Amino acid sequence: MIAAKEKAMDTQALEQLSINTIRTLSMDAVQAANSGHPGTAMAMAPVVYTLWQKFLRFDPNDPIWPNRDRFVLSIGHASMLLYSLLHLTGVKAVNSKYERPGELSVTLEDIKKFRQLDSKCPGHPEYRWTSGVETTTGPLGQGVATSVGMAIASKWMSEYFNRPSFKMFDYDAYALAGDGCMMEGVSSEAASLAGHLKLNNLCWIYDNNKISIEGHTDWAFTEDVATRFMGYGWNVTRVGDANDLEMLERAFKIFKKTTDRPTLMIADSHIAYGSPNKQDTSAAHGEPLGEEEIKLTKRNYSWPENEKFLVPDEVRENFRNGIGKRGKELRDAWFALYEVYKKQYPELADQLYKMQTRQLPEGWDKDLPKFPADAKGVAGRDASSKVLNALAKNVPWLLGGSADLAPSTKTRLTFEGAGDFKADNCAGRNLHFGVREHAMGSILNGLSLSKIRPYGSGFLIFSDYARPAIRLSALMEIPVIHIFTHDSIGVGEDGPTHQPVEHLASLRAIPGLITLRPGDANEVVEAWKVIMKLQHEPVALILSRQALPTLDRSKYAPASGVEKGAYILADAPTGKSDVILMASGSEVSLCVDAYEKLKAEGIKARVVSIPSWELFEHQGQEYRESVLPPNVTARVSVEQASTFGWARYVGMSGNSVGMKTFGASAPLKELQKKFGFMVDNVIAAAKAQLKK
């Protein structure tokens, strides 16, 4: 009996030592950087210790094994909490080829260089930069919303890949959130959808410390979070003291036993340090503590006051014996099962491997439609629908939906067996996000991070609502497909509230995002071919509502030129032009019509279709100059959008026919006339350039 009590006391002491190591590493790193947020990292140390050491299915030696649990630090400013864990648990680095060279993801030197150039410990966690970081966080609310996508991915993959005696996927998604996450609207959107879908594999942990940067949350946030989440259909459990390891363990067990809804665990914490004047203050939350305060706090922990970045050997051993041992056993058992799975279900096993390594299955591009020349043409959205359905048949893990606009964006998968993803049918490939553009973007990121190939759609005007998540998809270099229709004043009678003007320019401004605005149905096909081969770039596919003439490719250049971002669609007979007309999307055919009339007048013109600035800029200088020869300075761009940015292609003396104001409510033809998108206007602009 006495021996058992002593063992329990030893265990408690070791647990407290481990927790305090997380805390002191966080304090020391923030102080060394003279920048950062130590409070939350210190307050939540017992919570993450309990989760990682006793529940999280995660192997530090293989942080990307497919069925691992996901842990998302939505409160990204508490990044040292995660970096301390990654170091203490010995998480190994993984390179871009999915290889593990054996080095630590986060070394003690990285922690000492917290927030410094080239450290693996940047100010906020960054996916790809630091192994063990499941998603880039920083903008509050993004992490929890992204975790919903991860939970959906687990549900879908379990339905698709699992077979009797082969549970290939059943992982859980955990996210640690704070008051800021709860205030941001994106978390409400995501929580509402998660409750609707009854995602019982999703657990959010809410650090209820009542502190934000400005001070006490009572200044701006007094709602009853627990009642709100119960209204969403979540299970809500509370831990009255974030230091109570027994209650924390009980709360996680409740989550694991909950089978019909997601779980919100509210952990009450109090940011407090060695001296009373540091307790519960905004400065303590968002600034280094100072050397004297750190000494006092370490004294409270019975920690050597003058030691910095101290990691006791028994703490490393504790984590090796806990998450290290358990995680390795789980990971090894999964791969052993996978070897048997490969023999019994070779096709599924091959698909699983290809999905996890972002490869495409054989025959992914078979049966793609070809569109004959047609003056009446096809709307971009309609052509895209046919291509998307053909591709989705061939790529089983291509799935997505829209923000309640699938009938308008034409993004519904209609082939037999596609189905709808619902709480009682997680095998469905049509996702329904509701009118939640921001959460949709974040959830798409979570799906992509889980190696599903996701798409989401809406009107281009509403890309504003999704922009933060789109930006993060580019920052993380993940191949999310953002489909936007109703791409111009072509929306017509809906008026300027629904007519995008500045949106193309704003999307083109995001580094790493590929924008594609195809000019006819066959360019749409080629655009999708480009999209499917992308592995590290998200894309914004911009499509028209109105019909676009399908160009005669026996007369004009093949649409395969889309792959290079810009190509010569029509040219002067000699190949040497006097004036260049360039456009994207619906305005390409307008330039072709102008070209034919100029040609009839003996004027040597060239038409350049530029569906993607980014892809064009990826080409070598020789190719770019062959399309846009520097010596031809008479240039006109035509696009039913802001002219911002077109100077890079038309030059300072060129002419851009575009939108310089917002649109108006009227039928399309009247709008085209009002804003100058007529053949005669393009011809006049070209002749004016020639006169220069």
Q: Do the bridges between strand 539-542 and strand 514-516 make them parallel or antiparallel, or are there none, so unpaired?
A: parallel
Q: Which two tokens stand for residue 599?
A: 């040609």
Residues 6+ apart with CB under 8 A from 335: 65
DSSP symbol at 44: T
The order of strands in the sheet holding 579-583 is 567-570, 605-609, 579-583, 635-642, 655-659
Q: Which two tokens stand for residue 259?
A: 């089978």
Q: Which two tokens stand for residue 680?
A: 């005669």
CA angle 391, 393, 398 (to 5 degrees): 65
DSSP symbol at 659: E
Q: Residue 470 and residue 481: Cα distance in Å, rounded? A: 10
Q: How far apart are the first and last CA of the chain?
A: 99
Q: Residue 634 and residue 686: Cα distance in Å, rounded? A: 7
Q: Residue 312 and residue 301: Cα distance in Å, rounded? A: 14
Q: Residue 219 and residue 177: Cα distance in Å, rounded? A: 19
Q: Residue 446 and residue 452: Cα distance in Å, rounded? A: 9
Active-site entry in 15, 134, 437, 526: 437
Read out DSSP for 598-616? Answer: HHHTT--EEEEE-S-HHHH
Question: Contact, 394 vs 424, CB < 8 A?
Answer: no
Question: Cα-atom radius of gyration of the chain, to the nearest Å?
Answer: 28
Question: Contact, 264 vs 236, CB < 8 A?
Answer: yes
Residues 6+ apart with CB under 8 A from 590: 583, 638, 677, 678, 679, 682
| CB neighbour burial string for 267-292, b if at least 16 within 10 angstroms, e if fewer | bbbebbbbeeebebbeebbbbbbeee
Q: Residue 576 and residue 524: Cα distance in Å, rounded? A: 28
Q: Which two tokens stand for residue 81?
A: 């909490």
Question: Contact, 419 vs 427, CB < 8 A?
Answer: yes
The 3-state secondary structure of 223-259, one letter per residue: CCHHHHHHHHCCEEEEECCCCCHHHHHHHHHHHHHCC
* Length of the chain in terms of residues written: 692
Q: Residue 581 and residue 575: Cα distance in Å, rounded? A: 14
Q: Residue 444 and residue 506: Cα distance in Å, rounded? A: 20
Q: Residue 83 and residue 125: Cα distance in Å, rounded? A: 8
Question: Contact, 591 vs 551, CB < 8 A?
Answer: no
339 is catalytic: no
The secondary structure element, H or E, covering residue 282 is helix 282-286
User: In degrees rounded to 5, what are phi and psi of residue 637?
Assistant: -105, 145
DSSP-derived 3-state class of residue 480 = coil
Residues catalogued as catalytic = 437
